[in-house]
């Protein structure tokens, strides 16, 4: 028998200056309206004096919809100066994927989307090459070829931004998109662009990093998933992982292991983002699980 659908949830996320009474005020509001809390987590950064909270609330336990919940919460948010959001988990997020010629992350994302692992729509895939048009269109997804002329990169990035906004994009995933986005684009979509790369930086820069690592005799290889900022590959880290290798592994083995771990780390980091578990905190992240 098919499993019963998960109960619909409202996700409340907030951050503010840390002070006494935040948890009490939020809890009192939820209790007053009969809210059933399914998941709750919070964290206080003692050095920065910043407080973070995430609550999952059973939607059917409240006497109103998400819009009315926001109105009810507004006075508390104002009192504590909160950065906050209430999202209906049933609403499907819109994810736009950018890719170049390496397809391992794209294949993995499409598989997870097709299997219903994430509550997302992929309105389009954008690439600076035609390599994956057939694969993407076979999945019923629009494919946009946007070549990047090194002398006129801003033209390509303006077109990517236009396509992203026209698609109603909420998160842009760089699935091994081998281009450096412009500072203007990074700033425009701050907190929305997620990238994946090998974790050899800054030790092995440039072409053939796995071959460089093999020559150096590294024992661990890994991947990093992070938000894209104007500082190349230095944005707030969402997720990382490593796998052990040995002297018996060839450079081609390292490439295979690296692609596997890139897929897993990107998927994990993306899931944290889609589930509203990630808070930007300067050049770091707070992830409430």
Residues with active-site annotation: 233
How much of the chain is helix, strand and coil, in % rounded to 5? 35, 30, 35
Do residues 103 and 135 lie in contact, with contact meaning Cβ atoms separated by under 8 Å? yes
SS3 track for 150-180: CCCHHHHHHHHHHHHHHCCCCEEEECCCCCC
Of 209, 211, 265, 199, the C-alpha closest to 238 is: 265
For the chain, count helices (H), then strands (E). Answer: 8, 14
CA 274 – CA 277 distance, rounded (Å): 8
CA 225 – CA 236 distance, rounded (Å): 9
Burial 215-253 (b: 16+ CB within 10 A, else e): eeebeebbbbbbbbbeeeeebbbbbeeeeebeeebeeee
Token readout for 140 is 């019923």
């Amino acid at each position: 028998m098919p499993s019963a659908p998960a109960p619909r949830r409202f996700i409340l996320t907030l951050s503010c200056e840390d002070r006494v009474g935040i948890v009490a005020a939020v809890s009192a509001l939820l209790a007053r309206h009969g809210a059933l809390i399914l998941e709750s987590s919070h964290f206080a950064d003692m050095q920065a004096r910043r407080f973070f909270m995430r609550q999952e609330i059973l939607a059917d336990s409240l006497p109103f919809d998400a819009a009315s919940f926001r109105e009810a919460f507004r006075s508390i948010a104002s009192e504590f100066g909160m950065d906050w959001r209430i999202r209906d988990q049933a609403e499907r997020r819109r994810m736009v994927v950018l890719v170049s010629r390496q397809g391992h992350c794209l294949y993995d994302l499409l598989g997870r989307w097709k299997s219903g692992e994430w509550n997302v729509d992929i309105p389009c895939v954008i690439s600076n090459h035609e390599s994956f048009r057939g694969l993407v269109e076979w999945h019923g997804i629009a494919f946009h070829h946007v070549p990047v002329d090194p002398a006129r990169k801003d033209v390509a990035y303006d077109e990517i931004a236009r396509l992203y906004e026209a698609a109603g994009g909420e998160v842009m995933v760089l699935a091994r998109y081998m281009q450096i986005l412009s500072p203007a684009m990074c700033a425009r979509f701050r907190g929305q662009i997620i990238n994946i790369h090998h974790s050899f930086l800054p030790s092995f820069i440039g072409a053939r990093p796995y071959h460089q690592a093999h020559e150096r005799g590294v024992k661990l290889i890994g991947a990093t998933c992070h938000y894209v900022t104007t500082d190349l590959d230095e944005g707030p880290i969402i997720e990382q992982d490593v796998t052990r290798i040995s002297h018996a592994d060839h450079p081609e083995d390292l490439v295979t292991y690296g692609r596997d771990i890139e897929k897993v780390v990107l998927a994990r980091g993306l899931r944290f983002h889609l589930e509203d578990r990630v808070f930007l905190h300067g050049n770091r992240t707070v992830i409430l699980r």
